[in-house]
Amino acid sequence: MKDGTRLNKYLASCALGSRRKCDALIQAGRVEVNGSPCLNMGTRIAEGDHVRVDGKRWAPREPLMVVFHKPRGYVCTREDELGRETIYALLPETLRSLHHVGRLDRDSEGLLILTNDGDLSQQLMHPSKAVEKEYLVTSNQAFENVHLDQFLEGVYTPEGKLKAKAIERLSPRRISVVLNHGAKRQIRVMFETLGYQVTKLMRVRIGGLWLGDLEPGRWAILNHAEIAMMLGQSAPPAARRPATRSPGPSQKTVRQDGPRAAARPARRPRAQ
C-alpha cells in the first residue's frame, strides 16, 4: 500500500457495499478520515490512517465469498415484513453479515452467492460484465418450438423486451435457460407472457461455477481459483457437468443467439 488505497475501495473492503455505494457515503458527508470529515473522492488511505462512517470506525475485512444452495420457500432478505423465512435463518452467525449478490425469489431455488466484498459483487452484477447465469425451468405444459425461438428473439412484456442468450430443451416441459443480464423475475415474466406457468425454477450456474451436488440449505466457502473461475478469469480443470435429462430424438436440442459458453464446472468445495 505504497501510495495508499483510494477511499471508496477501502470502504468497499470494509464490507460497506460496492464502490458506487461507498462514493455515495462520501458525498453524503458520512465519512471521516483521521477525525475530520472527508468529501474528497480522491483521498487515499495509508497504513495507520483510521476511517469512520457515521461515527463508527471501520477496517478492511478478509474477502469472503460463499456459495449457497437456496431452498424454495425462503426470501433473500435479512428481515421480512411479512414474517416469511429468510435465507439468513439457514446460515451460521459467522456468515449472517454477508450480502447476497442478486437474489432468487421465494419460489425459486439454487445457486446463490454471498460475500463481504463489494468489488466482487459489482463484477458479478454489473451489466457490462455480462456474467452468464443458467437456470433449469419446468413448465406446466410442453413448450412449443416457436416459443423457444421467441425466447431468443425477445418477448415483449409489460417490463419491456426480454430475451434469453441460450435455450436447451431437456424434455417436453423442461428447458435450460441462459441469461447474461437479468430483469426482475425475468424468466417467470417471459413464460407467463407466452402462456406458460413455471412450476420449478432452479439456478444451476453463475459464470463458470456450477451448483453441482451441493444440497438445499448447505453452503461452502469458495477459494481464489473458484472465484476466478466464476468470473471467467482462468480455465478450470476438467470436471463433470451436473447430469441433465437428454432430449428425445424429435426434439431440437440447443438454441442460442450467440456462442454458448463452455461448461466449466468448479471443483465442489466441502459443504458445511
> Do β-strands 198-206 and 109-115 pair in parallel, antiparallel, or remain unpaired?
parallel
- Grid cell of 248 as nine digits: 428425445
Q: Cα–chain-centroid distance for residue 207? A: 9
User: How far apart are alpha carbons 178 and 163 in whole angstroms?
Assistant: 10
Would strands 198-206 and 133-139 be described as parallel, antiparallel, or unpaired? antiparallel
Longest dimension (CA), the chain: 71
Cα–Cα distance for residue pair 189/156, rounded to 1 Å? 10
Helix H or strand E encompassing 23: helix 19-27
Q: Does an H or E element contain 21, and which?
A: helix 19-27
Cα distance between residue 249 and residue 141, in whole Å: 19
Q: What DSSP designation does 16 have?
A: S
In terms of Cα–Cα distance, which of 121, 150, 151, 116 is closest to 137?
Answer: 151
Per-residue DSSP letter, 255 = E
Catalytic center residues: 105
Report d(CA 72, CA 217) in Å as an integer: 10
C-alpha distances out from residue 271 to 215, 220, 243, Å: 8, 5, 19
The residue type at 186: Q
